[in-house]
Amino acid sequence: MAGRNLSNGRWPAWPDGRLGMVSGLGEARRRTVAWEKLGDRWWLGGSPTMPLLPHSPTMETGVTSYAGSAIPHTVLSRSRTTTQSWFPLQQRSNRKSEEFLNKATPDKNLIRLLVCMGEALRTISFKVKTASCGGTACVNTFGDEQLAVDVLADKLLFESLRYSHVCKYACSEELPELQDMEGPAEGGFSVAFDPLDGSSIVDTNFTVGTIFGVWPGDKLTGVTGRDQVAAAMGIYGPRTTYVIAVKDIPGTHEFLLLDEGKWQHVKDTTTIGEGKMFSPGNLRATFDNPDYDKLINYYVRAKYTLRYTGGMVPDVNQIIVKEKGIFTNVTSPSAKAKLRLLFEVAPLGFLIEKAGGHSSDGFQSVLDKVINTLDERTQVAYGSKNEIIRFEETLYGSSRLKAGEPVGAAV
């Protein structure tokens, strides 16, 4: 069948608010996609970050181009605004991740939530890669002004959690108030997330990411990071990856987004060893925190490799991928804590500790800190055991992890 042009707008537009996390149609004009047959139904494929949309089973194989949000009426005729039309997409694009999760946990609701979040990450990756951002405004390749990518990511994640039907409450760093996702409290979850950590460096084309933590039930305060049943981060760089940790099994588990839109399981990390690599955040604190200054000078004198991007997600992710190193973000009288315990520190602490590493606020694991308020902030270090011992000894004189000779930085 010859290519069919849908740019004349003869077909009705996609209904407003229709599962935007898997559509991405608003920014796609005259994009060429292919119809694919899956079972007895035809699906609109194409870019790995575009949806597979149901179409008439009598449609012949061919290539179709579409404009804006105009799509054939027959696409809308099946399960227009229900989740049924979305889950065939999930089953196809997430088959590898679902196979892994089915082995990792018996909790079907948790599997459903993590798969739904994977779909949101897939679409956010596409938005990040195709948005042209300057300051706070973003435009797509056709000059249409869009929501800033962090606001858009925030919206997509909330929609994903709502359509999972297993999330009771959610809140984000952009909207730090509990939002009712209408899922069950019993057998359901509450989720806290940073939709786009590092959004201020999107315009410089640095790697950015999404962070989220999953707690059982309906509480996000009065709990600790250790109460999480899962945590994950999406990393949007030269590759898009989805790193998951689940309470039921050891390790972190990395999935790579393939060209066809599937998540391929590529790496497990269960050990964080010793190695000279450091990522020092909040260096302005060295001005009036002499102990932090001493620690940084130790890294330089000991010829550690500096690997710091300004984005917390890639800086922590490299510890998991390289299986070594230290990330620090320390406070001082003039440089107060900026990292939020609920949205960033606890989920990343869960990932690091499940990977075989350690975390610290200077005195204890960040997973043991009670989350008293949604906006609570803290300093943090993530890394190998000896690096966390050095961090605690240098800043506070002793370490709860100490074994054998002191490893604190020399004066």
- What would the DSSP string read from start to end of 124-165? HHHHHHH-EEETTEEE-TTS-EE--HHHHHHHHHHHHHHHHS
**Which of 212, 132, 202, 225 shows the shortest CA–CA distance to 164?**
212
Question: What is the average pLDDT across 282-309?
Answer: 97
Give SS3 for 217: coil
C-alpha to C-alpha distance for 142 and 144, rounded to whole angstroms? 6
Q: How confident is the model at residue 139 (pLDDT cuts 50, 70, 90)?
A: low
Q: How confident is the model at residue 142 (pLDDT cuts 50, 70, 90)?
A: very low
What pLDDT is attached to residue 204?
86
What pLDDT is attached to residue 83?
33
Beta-bridged to residue 145, according to DSSP, are 139
What 8-state DSSP symbol labels residue 362? Answer: S
Question: Are the beta carbons of 109 and 188 closer than 8 angstroms?
Answer: yes
Tokens of 184: 């069950």
What pLDDT is attached to residue 125?
95
Domains of the chain: 95-268 (3.30.540.10), 273-401 (3.40.190.80)
Say what the pTM is. 0.77
Contacts of 404 (CB under 8 A, 6+ apart): none
What pLDDT is attached to residue 76?
26
Average predicted confidence (pLDDT) for the chain: 79
Q: How confident is the model at residue 405 (pLDDT cuts 50, 70, 90)?
A: low
Q: What is the pLDDT of residues 27-69, one digit of tens each?
A: 333 333 344 444 444 444 433 333 443 333 333 333 333 233 2
Give SS3 for 291: helix
C-alpha to C-alpha distance for 152 and 125, rounded to whole angstroms? 11
Q: What is the pLDDT of residues 200-248, one digit of tens each?
A: 888 888 999 999 999 999 999 999 999 999 999 999 999 999 999 999 8
pLDDT higher than threshold 80 for residue 195: yes
